[in-house]
Amino acid sequence: MVKTNKQIISWKYLVIPGTIIFTVVTLLRALGWLQGWEWQLFDIMLRSRPLESPDERIVIVGIGEQDIQSTLQSYPISDQDLAQLINQLEQYDPIAIGLDIVRDLPTPPGTTELNRIFETRDNIFGVYTLIGLTPIAPNPTLKAKGQIGFVDTITDDDGNYRRLLLEQFRENNDHHDGPDYSLPLMLADYYLNKNYGFVLEFGRRDQMAMAFKQEEPLSNPPSVPPFVELPRFTQNTGAYVRADDGGVQILGQFRHHPQPFPELSFTDVINHNFAPEQIEGKIVLIGITATSEKDFVDTKATLQNHSINKIYGVHFLAHNTSQLISEVLDGERGLTSLPEVGEYLWILGWTGLMLLVIKRSQSLPFFILIYGVSQGALVFGSYGLLLGGWWLPVVPVLIINTVLAVAYLYYRYNFDFLSQELAIRQNAINEFFEEIHRTALQRCSLLSRALEDPDFDPSNLRQEIIAIDQDIRQAYETIEAFFDHHDQRVNPQDLETKINKLFQQQLDQILIKYQLNHLALITNFEPYCNHNLTQNQIYKLTQLIEEMICNIYKHGVNVKRIKVEGTMQDVGYILSFENSGQPIDQAGIKQLEHKKFIKRLEQALNGSFTVKALDQGTLCQFRW
């Protein structure tokens, strides 16, 4: 009987390797060795999100190659050209203007006019940098009014940007009183305050986080909550391991659209080549979009790539600003993750599920199916949770499940191979015993019965012993020949005549072999019509004939005649053995029914064996 997987694998053989694999993978994750793979999968999932509509609350005015070559008076853009651009935009009442042009020195001509605009306008925000060897100071006029925001970014070890730096703390702040805020945060705060009455404050669940609170409801939709806390990035958020979480950071979510924001060129604005409603009430971001300037940000998480995995810096700021506004007004959930303990419990749960799948798998096709389904559920389930704002570990679970699956398949391969080897050896032992039983032991049984006969000639004893010795020696050669050809199938065209001929030859040999010349054998074999027998099975059937003749003669009383018939019926082929004389007693019948050889033949041919006592004699039948 073939044991199922449920019978051959106990929990102790699963828990120990499962624990080792879980420990090794989680240790690799804790050391940060899986960070790169997890980041790549994170980027792929973000790129695979459903398309969003463009955010028309933000408009980008790009200064591109054509503007530099044909419209600008000089480059870098002069204060005069910049003042002209701002004056043109202000005619259409934008709610705020962000200048993503980093410089700390005047660029005449037009410096006086530009400073006058900065002094009279409260909705213009300049930029500066804090990080690096040479930080760039903001415009003094905008600095004095507090209308500045830094544009520093934090890159991951693979060179890509996935985090937004919103606030920085410094002991000696030379730019203004209080903490430093990023330009996207300044623009989003201004927009939300002017339109909806939101103000920036600390979080409630996490007092280090940032939040928007609505003090005076103005015109916000009913679905907008009065308090929105931004999930703060920590050093072990998601796949990160001991990352720099200085200041206040959040995970970035780029707006998922090939053209996420309306965009105008410098020339379009100067020539009034746009509709007024494109600017009115919108946030306008002015920045460089000339490829020669190489103002790029590396990211793989957006569809909007102007170069390989790159977007312009002004677009990066637009994405950041859009994310902050969308989390407050559109109900978009900021990305977060489970606590570290929760993440490792998540990994442990999937490991336990995989071990349970292995434990319950009773066949390789079933295991492969369940393994594929579970891996798909992991990936697509995690993708769905990411859409809901939860970033959960996937790569460690995939690695653990894959290693466990490979280990299980290797185990099954070796187990099946060993089982086949053991089955072959056991089969050889069984065949050898059956061959000895069919020849030497049967001859011993008949000799024992003959010795009880007063008329037995003692001179025949030596001859019988020599015959028994020859039977034992020939058993090995018979078994060797059997294993050389046991799987070969007989030609269907020869089967009908061959099997009947073999049956008849076997009967003739039995009479000579066991000196049963006084026994009358009546035979009748109908043609055999099934064409699916192997050499092994035919050999077994001839053994059955010899076994039945010897046992009927041995267990019967006054057996003078045995009728052997083979008939083809709808239920299959039937071999019948009917003897004359007295019926075999119940002990003999029970012994015949429980012979191991017959039981194995029943299993091999999916057949059945019956013994029935008649008024005169006994009827034995084998059907298959």
Phi-psi region of 247 (alpha: psi -120 to 50; beta: other; left: phi over 0): left
pLDDT at 353: 94
Number of domains the chain is built from = 2
In this prediction, residue 189 carries a pLDDT of 97
Q: Which of 547, 565, 566, 561 is nearest to 495 (CA)?
A: 566
- Of 329, 346, 375, which one is at a domain's C-terminal end? 329
Cβ(125)–Cβ(285) below 8 Å:
no
Confidence (pLDDT) at 233: 97
CATH of the domain at 573: 3.30.565.10
Residue 342 domain-assigned (yes or no): no
Cis peptide before 231 (omega within 30 of 0): no
Residue from 293, 253, 246, 288 nearest 130 by CA:
246
* Non-local CB neighbours of 120 within 8 Å, separated by 6+ positions: none
Nearest to 319 by CA among 9, 54, 619, 590: 54
Assess if residue 374 is contained within a domain: no
Contacts of 285 (CB under 8 A, 6+ apart): 58, 59, 60, 61, 97, 98, 100, 187, 314, 317, 318, 321
Distances in whole angstroms, Cα of residue 497 to Cα of each of 503, 507, 571, 591: 10, 16, 21, 33
CA-wise closest residue to 302 among 243, 250, 261, 339: 261
Torsion-angle region of 255 (φ positive above 0: left; ψ -120 to 50: alpha; else: beta): beta
pLDDT of residue 526: 78
Please name every residue paired with 608 in a beta bridge, in sequence order, or none if there are none: 623
Q: How far is CA 465 from CA 458, 470, 473, 508, in A?
A: 12, 9, 13, 22
Last residue within a domain, chosen from 272, 294, 329: 329
User: How far is 123 from 103, CA to CA, in rounded Å?
Assistant: 19
Examine residue 594 and state whether it is found in any structural domain, yes or no: yes
Q: Tokens in use for 336? A: 């977060």
How far, in Å, CA of 402 to CA of 354, rounded?
A: 10
Does residue 372 belong to any structural domain of this protein?
no
Q: What is the DSSP letter of 167?
A: E
Determine the distance from the C-alpha atom of residue 170 to the mean position of all C-alpha atoms in its chain, rounded to a whole number: 46
The candidate with the shortest Cα–Cα distance to 250, out of 203, 284, 216, is 203
State the residue range of the domain holding 602. Answer: 490-624
Helix (H, G, I), strand (E, B) or coil at 198: strand
Can you give the pTM of this predicted structure? 0.72
Q: What are phi and psi of 365, to 5 degrees?
A: -60, -40
Question: What pLDDT score does 222 carry?
Answer: 61
Map tokens 């999932």 to a residue.
45
pLDDT score of 340: 94
- Mention every residue, 6+ apart, whose C-beta is less than 8 A from residue 590: none
Per-10-residue mean pLDDT of the chain, 624 residues long, equals 50 87 96 96 94 96 93 89 96 97 90 96 96 87 95 93 91 64 98 93 94 77 83 96 94 93 96 95 96 86 70 95 96 94 96 91 87 95 96 97 92 74 68 67 71 69 68 61 50 50 63 64 74 71 77 74 84 85 79 78 85 85 86
Residue that the structure tokens 């096709």 belong to: 365
Longest dimension (CA), the chain: 144
Q: What's the rounded Cα separation, in Å, for the pair 302 and 70?
A: 31
- State the pLDDT at residue 425: 67
Rounded-to-integer distance, Cα 358 and Cα 344, Å:
21
- Is residue 574 situated within a structural domain? yes
**SS3 per-residue string spanning 33-70:** CCHHHHHHHHHHHHHCCCCCCCCCCEEEEEECHHHHHH
Per-residue pLDDT, 490: 44
Distance between the two ends of the chain, CA-based, in angstroms? 20
pLDDT of residue 6: 42
Q: Does residue 553 fall inside a structural domain?
A: yes
Within-domain flag for 453:
no
Give the domain-ending residue among 310, 329, 348.
329
pLDDT of residue 167: 95
Inside any domain, residue 554: yes
